[in-house]
Amino acid sequence: MDAASHGDPIGRRGAPSLSPCAAPEERGIGARHVHRFARATALSVFVLILAGASVTSTDSGLAVPDWPLSYGQWMPPMEGGVFFEHGHRMIAGLVATMVWILAILAWRAQSARWVLGLAWGSAAAVLVQAALGGLTVLYGLAKPVSVVHACLAQALFSAVVFLAVATGPRGEAEAHAALKLRRAAALAAGAVYLQLIFGAAYRHGLTGLAPHLAGAVLASALVLVAAYRGVTDLPESAGVFATSASLGAALLVQLFLGLAAFATRSPVAATLHVGLGALILALSVALAAKAHALASREEAASWA
């Protein structure tokens, strides 16, 4: 029996395996454990992004002037802006722990090289993110640091979402359509991430509104193309239709939230706008991951 049939992640006895992890019965920890914990970790990162957005929206970034402690305490009174800022730190600690556990699970499961690379890269990124969060406070909300901190959170979210989807069950589909969808979804994800950078720069006062509006036009167009391809080309393949339809619907709601946040200056609308932007990024990444999993064995092998 060849290496691939045993789920050998690095092809020690043959070609690289497409299986994200070794067979669970051989190692005790397998692809299903990595997949399930990656889903939970992705959800925790999304909650963290919402918490971080609420800090900015309520101007609570300097409610706690020191770091890593809060007023010299591990648990200060959760009042006013401290509730948002220290709450954000508490959630961040939980997320960092979960990301590292995910990387260890992927290692214990003898995951494929790309899974290990993405998992350990995420574990390293979450440490950098924590340091950036501390610098944001210690340097009095320095705009460049704040923007990089916000953008790295979105990148971490994308990586964990990709892991959660790509390590899940695979389906079958027409390879050419899957490859076209993967390309469209990847372009959409890239445009959405660029738009989130423009949004973070605008929210933190680094740039004006014009780049954010231009990015919105580009991202909206590419998201609609990806959603349309998913709905029309692969409507019955491994949740592609649901992901594509959700992506299109989320975009429409996001455009409305953007107008509402600008017109009302409401912290709630602004926080929801950031959160839904992260969700649109996640859906684009998930669609790309699903399309990748449905692509031909030869194409997928180049990612292993």
DSSP 237-251: STTHHHHHHHHHHHH
Residue 302 φ/ψ, nearest 5 degrees:
-70, -15
> What was the pLDDT predicted at 7?
40
Q: 11 in helix, strand or coil?
A: coil
Q: Is there a contact between 106 and 160 (Cβ–Cβ < 8 Å)?
A: no
pLDDT higher for 231 or 293? 231
What's the average model confidence in pLDDT over 46-70? 91
Provide mean pLDDT across the span 127-138: 92
- What's the confidence (pLDDT) of residue 304? 45
Between residues 249 and 22, the one the model is more confident about? 249
C-alpha–C-alpha distance, residues 289 and 108, integer Å: 23
- Burial label, 136 (beta-carbon count in 10 A; 0-12, 13-18, 19+): buried
Q: What angle do CA 17, 42, 76 make, to 5 degrees?
A: 140
Q: Is 43 helix (H, G, I), strand (E, B) or coil?
A: helix
Q: What is the pLDDT of residue 159?
A: 95
298 confidence band (pLDDT: 50, 70, 90): very low
The per-residue pLDDT for 109 is 87
Q: Tell me which architecture the domain covering 172-304 has in CATH.
A: Up-down Bundle (1.20)
**17-42 mean pLDDT:** 67
What local confidence, expressed as pLDDT, does residue 29 receive?
A: 63
Yes or no: say if 128 and 152 are a contact pair by the CB < 8 Å rule: yes
Check whether 58 has a pLDDT greater than 60. yes
What does the pLDDT read at residue 129?
94
Quick one: average pLDDT of 148-157? 94
Percentage of residues of the chain with pLDDT beyond 70: 86
What's the confidence (pLDDT) of residue 234?
Answer: 80
Cβ contacts of 201 within 8 Å, gap of 6 or more: 147, 207, 211, 212
End-to-end CA distance of the chain: 20
**Residue 12: pLDDT over 50:** no
Closest among 16, 19, 12 to 34, alpha carbons compared: 19
- CA 60 vs. chain centroid, Å, equals 24
- Residue 25 predicted with pLDDT over 70: no
Q: Where are the domains of the chain?
A: 27-168, 172-304
